[in-house]
Chain A
């Protein structure tokens, strides 16, 4: 009995520390920031992939996203997705945040070498997206690859 009470207390406290919002509330919120960056999300490779059901390669095109000082590529993606009601999913926390899927397109959906990568100003950084600090006016591109980045020019 004691254990049961303890367990329910733990669950309750975890529950309370979470913020729960309805979709309407969530998408109504506007993220404001001093700086802006340009973000595009593209999955052209997935459209070309054999037997693909995806028709549209453009998910987001040159969207101006605002952010605050110290924010990262990950924050920019989150803000952009929120503003445009785009689904995305990530795992991990801190520097090791990893983007699993955007707009229902997940890693491994197009073969075992597929997944999301990003470039900033045409360069593919070798750090995680939440470890890359933005500078004003950066151009971010999220690109889907079917071949470990070779098909999007990340690897030569």
Chain B
């Protein structure tokens, strides 16, 4: 699966895609990026969450497209006037492209968050400093513990029923802090007795860096560079002016489309391979 690439490789990939998505204002590029992310979502997410995501995106797109002409009055093609202000076709199109940019970033972030679970994020931090990774991991354990302890103390206090609500919350909160401090003594003993604090702590993760990660990074980097070189911006004001299709811009659009389709193509390939190997059995 795509998410089984090394998190560093994945992270680089996401930086590339999001960089171009944020800094290029080109409907062709944006559409290609959205298609890549949407295909990947359709392949990996549950139907319910896909519908939810797409519904939200459609809503955002509409809102942004319709509000932009109300605030921007530039553009030669006037559709109508509202209170002496012109509402123009150009502003509407500009809003639509802005909407595309926003939903592209949204969908890519959704992909990012489904791929980067706590393990992958801790791995990224672990590469920078093992200590930070440990602190992060301990925090991820601490917070849900704290919340559930608070809830159970608060329930108990409510059943005993001696205080007003606010007072009860405050008391429960101070109690959960005291309990956490008590537990932290045991935790620190446990850490000490397992050798925490010795010199040369290493960082263990279940991820390996293999040749396919290197190939993946190289391909992404090449496509990224080509998309940057072939970058072309559209002009919307005062009238829409699409850049003439030069060789460069075609390469740029093509490269970015390829870059954003990598996750989908990879999943597709794996899917086909799986089917094929099943039919062999």
Contact = CB atoms under 8 A, between A and B. Distances in A.
A/B contact in complex, CB under 8 angstroms: yes
Interface of A: 18-23, 25-26, 78, 82, 87, 89, 101, 104, 106
A128 B75 CA distance: 25
Contact of A104 (B74, B82, B83, B84): B74
Name the residue among B72, B73, B75 with the largest chain A CB count within 10 angstroms: B73
Given A87-B76, A89-B73, A106-B74, A19 B82 contact: yes
Interface residues of B, number: 15
B237 A19 contact: no
A104 B73 CA distance: 9
Nearest to A81: B84
Given A87-B74, A89-B74, A104 B238 contact: yes
Contacts of B82: 18-20
Given A89-B85, A106-B237, 19 more contacts: A18-B82, A20-B80, A21-B80, A21-B81, A23-B80, A23-B81, A23-B86, A26-B81, A26-B84, A87-B73, A87-B86, A89-B72, A89-B73, A89-B74, A101-B74, A104-B74, A104-B76, A104-B237, A106-B74
B74 A20 contact: no
A89 B88 CA distance: 12
Nearest to A82: B84
A19 B78 CA distance: 15
A23 B88 CA distance: 11
A118 to B, nearest CB: 19
Contacts of B84: 26, 78, 82
Contacts of B238: 87, 104
Nearest to A106: B74
Interface of B: 72-76, 78, 80-86, 237-238
A18 B84 CA distance: 10
Contacts of A21: 80-81
Contacts of B72: 89
A110 to B, nearest CB: 15
Nearest to B238: A104
Contacts of A19: 82-83
B83 A23 contact: no
A78 B86 CA distance: 12
- A23, A78, A82: residue with the most chain B Cβ atoms closer than 10 Å: A23
Contacts of A104: 74, 76, 237-238
A20 B78 CA distance: 12
A18 B70 CA distance: 12
A18 B76 CA distance: 22
A39 B84 CA distance: 20
5 closest A-B pairs by CB: A104-B238, A89-B73, A26-B81, A21-B81, A23-B78
Contacts of A106: 74, 237
B27 to A, nearest CB: 21
A22 B77 CA distance: 12
A106 B236 CA distance: 13
13 contacts: A18-B83, A19-B82, A20-B81, A21-B80, A21-B81, A22-B80, A87-B74, A87-B75, A87-B76, A89-B73, A104-B74, A106-B74, A106-B237
